[in-house]
Structures are given as C-alpha cells and as structure tokens.
Structure 1
Amino acid sequence: MPTTTIMHLSDLHRDAESRIRTATLLSSLGRDMDRYTANEGIPKPDLAVISGDIVYGVRGSDTDGDAQLAKQYDEAYETLTGLADRFFGGDRERVILVPGNHDISMPHVSRALVPVAMPEDAEGKKKLARELMEPESTLRLNLDAFEVLRIANLTLYNQRLEPYAKFYERFYNGGRKFSLVPEEQYSTHDFPKLGVCIVGFSSCHDNDLYNRTGHISVEAITRAMDEANPIVKDGRLIIGVWHHSIQGGPKENDYIESGFLRHLMDANCSIGMHGHQHRPELLENRFSADSHRHISVISAGTLCGGPHSLPSGRMRAYNLVVLDQDEGVGTIHVRAMTNSDFSSPIWERGHVAEFGGSSMKFKLAQRKAQGRSAFDAAGKADQLIHQGLPVDAFELVRMHLSDPWARQIAATALAASENWKEAINLFSPPSSAADFLLLCDAYEALCDWASLRALISSSFARECPELAVQQRIQISQATLKGK
C-alpha cells in the first residue's frame, strides 16, 4: 500500500477582518507544497484534517454578533473551498472538518442564559457553588461580571453550533450534515484506497465561553466506534479527530480529560489529531499491558492565529502526517511560518524542540486487522456493486484474488468502474475464461489493438474450449479488421 499524507490544519480563526486574506494564505500553502514535494521528499497531501476553530468567533454581548459570525463563516467557506480546489481537485470529501470552541455562537448562548440571584445566607451560597461544580451543570460563572447565570432555554443553548452546522452543510453541498443533537455529533470519512478511515468528533459538548472544558458525548463515541468496527475488519487505519487538547496547566481548565482515549483504543483507533493549544506535539498514550493498545495523539499549531495567540517561542504552524502502513510507521513533518509578516506567511521546516528537529517518527499502533474472509468480502462486495459502488467493492476483495468467487467479483467491479488499467495489471495473463473476457474488454476500451491481437492469438485462446471465449475471439477478430 502506498503512503498516505494528511495535511493537518487547525485553529484557522477565519475572520472577515483578518490580517491574512484567503488568496494570500492559499498561495503560501501552495508554494510550500512545491518546496516540500520537490526538495524534501514529502508526498503531496491526499487529505486535509481541520481540527476545529474554523472561525474566530464573536462575543455574546456584540449587538451585531449574528451578522459578524455569518461573515466569518463566509470567509471560512471561501478558505476551505479554495483549499479543496487547490489541493484535491475540488473534492471536498477529502477535507474533514470538526468544530472548536471558537465555532460556538456566543449570541445563542447569551440569549439562553438568565442571571441567578446571589443567596444572602452562607448555606445558600455553598449550595449554589456545589451546583455550579456538578458535571453537566446548567449554571455558568461569568467572571468578568462576577455573576452566576443559568441556562433557562436549553433548546436555544443546544443551537449554539447552528451557524457552524449551516456552514458545514454548505461546504459539503448538502452531502453531509452536522447534528445539533450531542450523541449524533460525529462523522465517518472512509477512504478504502488510502487505507484509512477518519472519525470526526465535536469536543464542544456543554462547552461555551463560560464553561471552557472540552467534552465529547459518550454516546457519540459509542456510535462512531460501532460504525468503525467493520471498517477495522476490512483493514483500514482508524484516525480520530477532535479539537481540545488532552492536557493543560495547573490553572487551566480549557482542555479535555484524556479518559475518552481508552474508548478509542478499545475500538482500534490508532491515531488522534487535535488543535486548540496552538503548538505541534506528539503524545503516546498507553493504558494496557498489550503493547499494541496505545494511541498516538498529534496536535497542530495555529494556521492563522495572531501574535497574541501564540505560545511563547512558537510561530504559526501546520503538520504533514505521512503514514506508511506497510512499514507500520508514521512521520510528523512540522511546517512553520518563518517570517514576521503575519499578513503574508512564508512556510518552511519548523524546528520543534521536543522533536529535536522538524519531524518525528512514531509507530502505528493498530493491531493487524483480522479482515473479512474471502466469502464475506465477496458477498459484501457483490452488494456494493448492486448499490452502484464498484470502486469500494473492488477495494474490499482485492486482497482475496486467489479465491475464485472473489476474483470474479473483482473482475465485475473493475469492469463496472471502467478501471481498465488495473484490470490488465491484475488479470494478465488470463487464467480463466472470465479473465480473458475482461482483458478483451479492457484492450478494446483502451484501443490497445496490439495487445488485443496478441491476446486472441495466445496459447490460452487456442486451448480454451469454452464457447464464450471462442465467440469473443470472433468478435475481436472482426473488430481488429482494418486496425
């Protein structure tokens, strides 16, 4: 299997008033790709993962906050459609999106909250404090005004990602939707040819400007991993994506507790990708004696964050993650902004002290996939062909070509998808009548008359007694007249 390269971008913070315009940003990324593909041996990206904070966001107190947020999402739409056009031939399915805390509509949150009267007695204050600290509390503490707020309209509060949801559906041309129901806030992006399946999560469950801790709905994780289970059996590497970092300083609370990683590992998720902390990092988390039961967690720097949003000693950055599943190794290449003009970045190798350079290798933790049996794979592939998905069908059976039924299904899938070059590569020289017929179709479709003439004159053609083969020879002979 060839290597797979993922462009990992995070914390775009797109804003209609941003100092870095979309055309300039995309042009800078394009020039960087020309450099690293030509001079550094890093392959062109196959996919892009955007791990949250698509927009900069607005304050709940802004009188025109809804309109400002809409303009920011227009800017984000222009950025990400441009990214898909420049790097992936316009295929937006190759760009995977998850939300971050900046993508929450604080105007929605503010409209859902009401002030809580502060009790005058000590016992009442203690009770209020305990309620404030309870998991999934409906109370919020606004430190700026030193007041306690309560979620009075839960329906409106749960709509705080509605602007993001509209942007998400618009970006995918209606092909994907982002649910406002927490347990449905996940997405599965399967790429059989690349050998990976990416599962996106929202780490913004119960999150807002007053409750900054990240959290992923347990139900969303369960549903997503159930969907991913058969994909693991088909041999794909599972990658989880969310926004919040999994650790923070003693006085910080805007990160997500790492316990959810155990659920991802239990479902054979090998890699996690996130942003939020604005710095590149690699963490390996292992929670069992089984040396394969660990997950490599990769964070990316901010792509567009301003000078005041950068951690000390860091610059804007993004990652290129190259996965070599045959060798069982991944490599993180960090690209960093190396100039001081925040309106026009120049990207080059980024030195990361923890890496000792600009890149770091890590072991892919996925256990060897059990895989489907040839019988199961052929049966599933046959269903996919009838569903109009011959490309997916072929990927399912390509590892079982020694099985006669799977081989027949593979031939049918290749013909249905008109993947003639792959058909010739795998089925030449023919070992059965079905192989011969497929090759005749392939050579005719490609107008490769010399190869067709050689095929119908081969020893297989002369010695095969099957009527279908002899009839196909006659048809081909007629086709070749005058060629």
Structure 2
Amino acid sequence: MIFKASYLISILHISDLHRSPSEPVNNDSLIAALVADGDRYLGETPRVPPPCGIIVSGDIIQGARIGADGWREEMVSQYVTAKDFLCKLADRFLEGDRSQVVLIPGNHDVCWNTSRSAMEKAQTNEIGNDIPSLIEQRGSRYRWSWKDQSAYKITDNTLYLRKLDAYWEFVSDFYSGFSFPLPIDRARGFQLFELHKNSVLVAAFDSTYGNDCFGYSGDIEPGVVGRCSLAIRDLPRAYELKAAVWHHSIEGPPMRQDYMDVIHVKEMAGLGFQIGFHGHQHIGATQTRSVHLNEEHAMAVVSAGSLCAGARELPRGINRQYNMVVIEDDFRTSRVHAREMGEGGQFSRKTNGEFLTGYARVSWRAQENLGGQTVKPDEENTRRVILRAEELLKAGMAKCALGELMAIDITRSAYAKRLACDAALEAKEWETLKLLLSETASDEEVVWLIIASIETRDLAHAADLIKTHTELAKPVVQQLNDRLALAKMKAGK
C-alpha cells in the first residue's frame, strides 16, 4: 500500500549538450563537476534535494557540416559520447533508471546533410516573385539559402523525414529495456514520461518540425499538442503535475528566426500543462505564459543554459549552466536554481539577474475540471482503480484486481479496502488479507482475519482472536473453532 507523505521534488534540467570542437569538455570531468555541485546544493538554504528525474531539452550533439568527410561516422561518434555521458549521469543520480531521463531532439540533432540531399534548387518559373510568402508558409516545401541566394525545394520527402535517423537510433539504444506510458514512437511527435513514482507526467514535444539546413525556426507539427492531450486523458491514472518539454526558445530578436511560435505554449497552457522546459537560447531564465478562457490559465516556462557549448556559442558574459528545479509539495510552486560554471570548471549558484539569490520562483494554477473545481489526483486515481478492480472481479480476475488496489492508498476509501478484502478472499491471498486487516472495523473483518490467520498456520493468533472477540455470534464462533480444530489436526497439534 502507498502512503503519501510531504516531500519536495527536484528535477535536474540540462540542455544543449553539443560540444564545441574548439572547446571540448570531457565526460568524466563534467560528471565530476555535476556530482561535486550536488554536494554543494544539498547543503544550501533553501533546501535542494537530489533529483528524482533528469530533463534534457534537446541538442544532444553538435552535428556535422554539409559536405564534411565522414559526416555519418562523425554523428554516430558524437552520439556515442553523449550516450556515455547520459548513462553515467543516470547511474550517479538515478541509480541507472533511464526511464527517468527525458530526451527530446534539438536543431543540432537534425542532420543537415540528409535534409540537403532531399532538396534541389527550385526553378525560377515555379517560385514566382513573392519568395518570402512561399517560404514562410507553414509546411512549405521551399527553403531559402542566403549563402548562394537561391531557393530550394524538398523533392524527396521520404529522405527528408530521415533527417533525425541518427538521433532516433541513439534514443532506441539508450532506452532499450525500459518501459514508458506509451512506447517510444518517432512519428508521433511527442513522448510521455512518468517521474517521481508516477506523480509527475512529462510530455516531450519534438520542436524540429520543418527544421533543416536552411530552415532554422522551431515548430511543432500541427495537431501534435492536441493529440498528446487526448492521449494523456486516456491514460489509466491522473497526475499531480503535467509538464511539457521542447527545445526551441519562444522569443528572439527581430532579425532572428530560430525560435518557436509562442502559440504552441499557449495551447499547452489551455490544455492544462502547468510548467514547461526548454533550451536553445543558452541562458537560464523563467517566465509565465497565460491564456485567457473563462479564467486565466498560466503556465510557468523555464529555460536552461547550455551545459557544454563553447564561448563562441554562448551569449556574451554567460558561462555553461544548468538548472535544479525544485517543485514544492503543493505542486503549484517551484524554485528554479540556476547553476553556473566558474573557476576550475566547477558549478555553483548563479547570482545575478533574476537569480540574484541563486534561484527564482515560479507558480501556476492548480489543475481544474470543466466545472472549475480543483482536481485531486489521489482521489481521481482511487476512483479509477476502484472501477477497474470492480470490472476485474466481475471477470473472475481477483488476483489482478487485488494488485490494482494494493497500488493505491486504500486507507483513503473504506470501499476500496472492502473491495481489496473481497479480492484477497477470492484469490486466497491470505498474507495480503492479514495486512489489509491489521486494523479491523467490523465483526465481518474480524472473521476474515481469523480465517486468514488459520490459513497461514498462525493458529495461536487465530485462537486468541476467537477468545477475545466475544461479540461474535455463537454459530460463527462454532464454525471458526471447528475450522481451527481441523487446521490443528492437519498440523499435528
């Protein structure tokens, strides 16, 4: 049985692991620096507990230049290095449980050589005069190259869709042997992860739709956020917190185009996501995005700086960074602790900007149902389990029903306890029945406990229970004594 206690949830949020060729960082040195910083933040005030999960918000590798010799082998080699790092990170912080590591691709994971091979220069007579509108249209097959001042067209869509092959091969290898709420599916546009004993659901969105060697903006394929929300509704349990992850930043300078339209985040907020994580901009930050329906639905958004980028890729005055995101036990507020690399390649508190005290606070609305009432996941999960258990019992699957019920805190529902006792009796799971009846609330439960004690050969206890519970009806006592006598005879007592 699960008994809920007050706790803080801490998530290690890293991003942009691409290694600059001019400033490579060694895996062992990086792991050592993260572990050493763990010693530091565990002793800080306010408290930062060790992480229960790791979110990696894209750009796992640097990638390979177009036309570079051996670019395939180079990308595979970079993913081997990334896997070694992430496996060691999971071993150190999560006891090797890679199902608690959330991965998504970033623009650096998109193979430029593959996407370029799927394109040809567009003919002048097919592009017309209004090139910007042709290129900017969502889902357009046309791209513009500033380098050679030419328009390109995607002519081999099958090849184009293989631009993340190396990433997905890496993901398949990394997660081999681990299970998830839904199987990993590269074509779905999102993956689902459960963190911290299934209390937190994380939806990882691929924001590289349309991203390639000439198209730099982030985008999520139309319909993906909605399909994800529907898939979550169909899951067998409710969650204390619904989080989203994507790679691209959601704002940028006027002349830049490598960020994602904030409309996606507003859709997430409207569908009940409460906190979002991203990378790409190479600096840690927090903000709140809202959508107004009948009332304001606010979603906290947290970005992590780059863990591995070099000085040429980092914003001026910014060092390598990562976040520790501490979620309070009300599941409505969080502290984002930004950690920054300093002397000796070591991390410590970032103490400037919005992280002047080493952390920033963010908050969001509690989950609500259509009636505007606050959703209580524990109560909802109990209700769902009871319904499933009832169906299993009707189908003669008592043991399965008992397994479902024992996974929740049945002390919250007298009916759930009664249903579990019925299932244990039918399945003849006597030890479990004794556990359920450690505290009896009726004569019937006392009788069940006596029967369970007899069946488990705890005969002295059974006899004591019969003797002390004088309120039991005489015919019932006689039947129990007869059963006890038969058990003693079989036991040779």
TM-score, with length taken from structure 2: 0.80
Determine the structure 2 residue equivalent to 1:379: 387
| Cα 1:244–1:437 shift into 2, 3 Å | farther
Determine the structure 1 residue equivalent to 2:194: 190
1:28-61 alpha-carbon deviations (Å, 9 max, x no partner): 1111112211344210100000000011111122
Determine the structure 1 residue equivalent to 2:145: 142
Q: Is the 8 A contact 2:198 2:239 kept in 1?
A: no
Q: Distance in 2 between matches of 1:263 and 1:188?
A: 17
Q: Is the 8 A contact 1:296 1:365 kept in 2?
A: no
1:422-463 alpha-carbon deviations (Å, 9 max, x no partner): x96x86433366699789999x99xxx9xx988985699745
Q: Distance in 2 between matches of 1:131 and 1:400?
A: 62
1:56-98 alpha-carbon deviations (Å, 9 max, x no partner): 1111221311110010011111111111111111111000101
Determine the structure 1 residue equivalent to 2:77: 71
After superposition, where does 1:38-117 map in structure 2 within 5 Å? 38-40=43-45, 41-117=47-123
* Aligned-pair identity (%): 26
Q: Is the 8 A contact 2:15 2:280 kept in 1?
A: yes
| Cα 1:454–1:253 shift into 2, 3 Å | farther
- 2:41 aligned with 1:36, yes or no? yes
- Supply the AA of the counterpart residue of 2:414: D
Deviates most, 294-303 or 10-19: 10-19
Q: Compute the displacement of 1:469 (Å).
A: 8.2
Equivalent of 2:341 in 337, 348, 366 = 337
Task: Look up the SS of the partner of 1:372 in the other structure.
Answer: helix
- 2:360 aligned with 1:357, yes or no? no
Q: Is the 8 A contact 1:186 1:202 kept in 2?
A: yes
- 2:174 aligned with 1:164, yes or no? no
Q: Distance in 1 between matches of 2:215 and 2:201?
A: 31
- Supply the AA of the counterpart residue of 1:244: H
Task: Look up the SS of the partner of 2:147 in the other structure.
Answer: coil
- Supply the AA of the counterpart residue of 1:4: I
Q: Distance in 1 between matches of 2:217 and 2:62?
A: 18
Deviates most, 279-288 or 323-332: 323-332
1:341-366 alpha-carbon deviations (Å, 9 max, x no partner): 5xxx2011112412332111222323
Determine the structure 2 residue equivalent to 1:405: 416
| Cα 1:461–1:381 shift into 2, 3 Å | farther
- Supply the AA of the counterpart residue of 1:81: C
- Supply the AA of the counterpart residue of 2:359: S
Q: Compute the displacement of 1:338 (Å).
A: 1.7
- Supply the AA of the counterpart residue of 1:51: S
Q: CA RMSD in A?
A: 4.1
Determine the structure 1 residue equivalent to 2:371: none
Q: Is the 8 A contact 2:340 2:348 kept in 1?
A: yes
- 2:241 aligned with 1:237, yes or no? yes
Q: Compute the displacement of 1:189 (Å).
A: 1.1
Equivalent of 2:276 in 268, 272, 275 = 272
1:94-137 alpha-carbon deviations (Å, 9 max, x no partner): 00101100001111112111123446xxx965144442232222
Task: Look up the SS of the partner of 2:10 in the other structure.
Answer: strand
Task: Look up the SS of the partner of 2:201 in the other structure.
Answer: strand
- Supply the AA of the counterpart residue of 1:398: D
Q: Distance in 2 between matches of 1:460 and 1:14?
A: 74
Q: Compute the displacement of 1:165 (Å).
A: 0.7
Q: Compute the displacement of 1:407 (Å).
A: 5.3
Q: Is the 8 A contact 1:5 1:321 kept in 2?
A: yes
| Cα 1:427–1:261 shift into 2, 3 Å | farther
| Cα 1:405–1:315 shift into 2, 3 Å | same
- Supply the AA of the counterpart residue of 2:238: D
Determine the structure 1 residue equivalent to 2:441: 431
Equivalent of 1:3 in 5, 8, 26 = 8
- Supply the AA of the counterpart residue of 2:56: I
- Supply the AA of the counterpart residue of 1:27: A
Task: Look up the SS of the partner of 1:165 in the other structure.
Answer: helix
Task: Look up the SS of the partner of 1:169 in the other structure.
Answer: helix
Determine the structure 2 residue equivalent to 1:131: 134
Task: Look up the SS of the partner of 1:126 in the other structure.
Answer: coil
Equivalent of 2:158 in 149, 155, 158 = 155
- Structure 2 gap segments, 5+ residues each: 368-373
After superposition, where does 1:280-359 map in structure 2 within 5 Å? 280-288=284-292, 293-326=297-330, 328-339=332-343, 345-359=345-359
Q: Distance in 2 between matches of 1:203 and 1:213?
A: 9
TM-score, with length taken from structure 1: 0.82
1:158-198 alpha-carbon deviations (Å, 9 max, x no partner): 110111111011000165765443xx121111247352100
Q: Is the 8 A contact 2:9 2:326 kept in 1?
A: yes
Q: Distance in 2 between matches of 1:305 and 1:472?
A: 74
Deviates most, 81-90 or 364-373: 364-373
Determine the structure 1 residue equivalent to 2:18: 13
Q: Is the 8 A contact 1:437 1:469 kept in 2?
A: no
| Cα 1:350–1:441 shift into 2, 3 Å | farther
| Cα 1:37–1:231 shift into 2, 3 Å | farther
Q: Distance in 1 between matches of 2:480 and 2:282?
A: 64
Task: Look up the SS of the partner of 1:71 in the other structure.
Answer: helix
- Structure 1 gap segments, 5+ residues each: none
